[in-house]
Amino acid sequence: MEEKKYVLETYALTKKYKEKLAVDCVNMHIEYGDIYGFVGENGAGKTTIIRLITGLANPTSGRYALFGINSADKRIGDARKYMSGIVEAVSVNRSMNALDNLKLQCLINDIKKTDEELIELIHRVGLDYQEIAKKKAGDFSLGMRQRLGIAIAMISNPKFIVLDEPMNGLDPQGFIDVRETIVKLNKEGVTFLVSSHILAELDKVCNKIGVISHGRLLDEITIEDLHAKSRKRIEVASEDLEGLKEYLVSNLNLGEVEIANDHLLIFDNIDINEVLKALVNGNKQVKDISLKEDTIEDYYINLVVGGKHA
């Protein structure tokens, strides 16, 4: 089996502020090419971990590795040169246009780029330079400013970009624009860590997610595996669940049937119309029957609130 190569690994990473344990023994694994969604409620520890791995804060205990370089190694500063991001807020000068914003960041970071290279970068994040050339960033939509922020993060040609809540406050079109920008850059070879509490959006853009709550990483799972767990089922509510189960199993030759949450759950690959026909033929009384499928929100609620995996 080929050994996995990680852009970021954390080892029992822990951060304590006085008596508050903000990050509790977290072990994360982000592979090259991932778009890793970091999911958790406000105050779960997402931003604290991002501050730790970007060097804006120091761990209380534990460690991490960037591109295979240990956080205690003197070369960690060199590893961070291949990393960029937006932490907590987009750093955009609203009185300047997009090109001047990029020029300012080049000046601050001592990076030499031609106007042509910066204009190409503007196009890479999905902004049309001709349309926005004379427009101040303060007049941009929030989604456009987010994409400009990603362009600023791209100035140093990073291999790994960290985005802290990039979907906050965006309208539906903004979601689409930022999502398309992330996917486009990922196809060009950039690995992403995207923190958010908007689960449905992460489901559309990420290939893997990590769920954090109260400072603890509860699970890491690929979107493919998550969808495999999101099982379709027919749910039936009735006064006599045991009798109904026995009847349907016998008459429809069902295998995967269980009773949970005051419902009969049928997991077999069977058409709901066949179940309805059997109920009518058997003169069985039911309160409700519906076709259900778990979502990423169901997974999160079961994991965080229910204390178990979906």
- Position with higher pLDDT, 25 vs 256: 25
Alpha-helix residue ranges (DSSP H) falling in 36-97: 46-53, 76-80
Percentage of the chain surpassing pLDDT 70? 97
Residue 278 burial by Cβ neighbours in a 10 Å radius (0-12, 13-18, 19+):
middle
- Position with higher pLDDT, 304 vs 116: 116
Task: Give residue-wise pLDDT tens across range 29-82.
Answer: 999 999 999 998 888 999 999 999 999 999 999 999 999 999 999 999 999 999
Confidence band, pLDDT 50/70/90 cuts, at residue 3: low
User: What are the structural domain ranges in the chain?
Assistant: 6-226, 231-293
CATH number for the segment(s) 6-226: 3.40.50.300
Q: Which two tokens stand for residue 256?
A: 């995967």
What CA–CA distance (Å, rounded) separates 15 from 59?
Answer: 5
Q: Can you give the pLDDT at residue 309? A: 41
Report the Cα 90 to chain-centroid distance in Å.
Answer: 18
Q: Which of 212, 206, 262 is nearest to 236 (CA)?
A: 262
Mean pLDDT of 273-292: 90
Helix, strand, or coil (residue 305): coil
Q: Check: CB of residue 7 under 8 Å from CB of residue 85.
A: no
What CA–CA distance (Å, rounded) separates 231 from 293?
Answer: 6
Q: Which of 16, 86, 41 is nearest to 212 (CA)?
A: 41
Q: The dihedral of CA 95, 98, 103, 104: what is its sign?
A: positive
Mean pLDDT of 247-271: 87
Q: Can you give the pLDDT at residue 310? A: 40
Confidence band, pLDDT 50/70/90 cuts, at residue 162: very high
Helix, strand, or coil (residue 92): coil
Domain with residues 231-293, CATH architecture: 2-Layer Sandwich (3.30)
Task: Give residue-wise pLDDT tens across range 212-232.
Answer: 999 999 999 998 888 777 778
User: Does the predicted model carry a pTM greater than 0.85?
Assistant: no
Q: Which two tokens stand for residue 167?
A: 């979907």
Mean of the per-residue pLDDT values of the chain = 89
